[in-house]
Amino acid sequence: MDFKTAKENKTGPVSGTIEPQISLQDQRSDDEGGSNVIRFADIFAGIGGFRIAMNNVCAENNIPHQCVFSCEIDKYAQRTYQANFNEVPTADVTKVSPQDIPDHDILFAGFPCQPFSGIGKQKGFSDPRGTLFFNILEILKAKRPFAFLLENVNRLVTIDEGRPFRIILRRLRSLGYNIHYQVLNALDFGLPQRRKRIFIVGFRKPVFFPWPDKKIVRVPLSSILQKRVRKDYYLSAEKKKDRKSKHKAKCRPSIWHESISGHISSNAYSCALRATASSNYLLVNGVRRLIPREMLRLQGFPDSFRIVVSDNQVKKQAGNAIPINVVQAILESVIPIVRAGLGEINGDIANVPTQSYSLAA
């Protein structure tokens, strides 16, 4: 399926600046209760992983939807976002007044993995001003979207004995949201990448929220590997020899993972892509680096996704992105609840379907 934003229901200007979007906000207010368009905001948008997942699930199920606001500070990520969604995200969320953000029904945010380590011990985190999580809270407080979906590294649950995570949950609940959270692994959702992430879903009403079934067939690594790869992605003969002397893979194809200490292991899938990893962090069969397209495929980005920045920037962008397949699976449970909550299904939350839609082929 094509993820392209053309599938979104475009009823007005959607741009990176706040001003023109105010007209959308007015339109939503006039239309309150009557519109069946699901509006969403893409905060800390990166290269738009949430947006692609939302577009895919809504398009599969003929659900009108529209991104009304996006926000991303990194100029290279903005460039990629613009090339793919024809929209430059607003830059710095801390400079945005939450009231100026158009009304929306779902807020998406993979908030930056700031140094949570240590933060829970400081008095500071019980008052999370100064962290970007605070900006999410402020937007939720001002705009009251029916639902939100947040993503972060799974470590967030355990660092500092779970103190920062408990504060995050408490803060979200204090805004009146009903919270559900779970660590999910991209490997269980049709991506050959071991990537565990915490997902936090919130609804303005108490609902039964079914997390997606993890028993999805695993896909082979070969499904994301490029057959012909340019020579410059290959290690020198000397480096190849060195690695082969240190490690013997039990399967082929495999991705070799080299730790900071130089220890090498290999698997029939990739370890988690990392935004700041060294270039030889992951090697295909121990002999070459992943090409940018392979990195994006490991996160579920379609081949129609445009690459307009350097290899290094793609590495950073893919390493920061959300695994699209996982988010799609979550959205298949979230969207029916949102539609019910917005009055689509007799306006009765008791009628919220618990049956998942089938996954996109």
Catalytic residues: 113
**DSSP-assigned letter for residue 105:** S
State the nearest-atom distance from the C-beta of 132 to ligand SAM, in Å.
6
Amino acid code (one letter) for 254: S
Q: Which residue has the tokens 């996982």?
A: 326
CA distance linking residue 268 with residue 252, whole number of Å:
7
Instruction: For ligand SAM, give the closer residue by CB, 2 or 31.
Output: 2
CA angle 209–150–108, rounded 5-degree value: 100
Instruction: For ligand SAM, give the closer residue by CB, 56 or 320.
Output: 320
Structure-block tokens of residue 134: 């605070």
State the nearest-atom distance from the C-beta of 48 to ligand SAM, in Å.
6
CA angle 114–102–129, rounded 5-degree value: 30
CA distance linking residue 221 with residue 234, whole number of Å:
18
State the nearest-atom distance from the C-beta of 211 to ligand SAM, in Å.
19
Q: Which residue's Cβ has the minimum distance to ligand SAM?
A: 46
Instruction: For ligand SAM, give the closer residue by CB, 322 or 340.
Output: 322
State the nearest-atom distance from the C-beta of 133 to ligand SAM, in Å.
11
CA distance linking residue 161 with residue 167, whole number of Å:
12
Instruction: For ligand SAM, give the closer residue by CB, 58 or 71.
Output: 71
In angstroms, the Cα distances linking 130 to 42, 50, 127 are 21, 25, 9
Instruction: For ligand SAM, give the closer residue by CB, 92 or 127.
Output: 92
Give me the residues that bind ligand SAM (CB under 6 A), please. Answer: 44-47, 49-50, 71-74, 77, 92-94, 110, 112, 132, 320-322
CA distance linking residue 15 with residue 28, whole number of Å:
17
State the nearest-atom distance from the C-beta of 112 to ligand SAM, in Å.
4
88 by Cβ neighbours in 10 Å (0-12 / 13-18 / 19+) ranks as middle
Amino acid code (one letter) for 324: I
CB 31 within 8 Å of CB 342? no
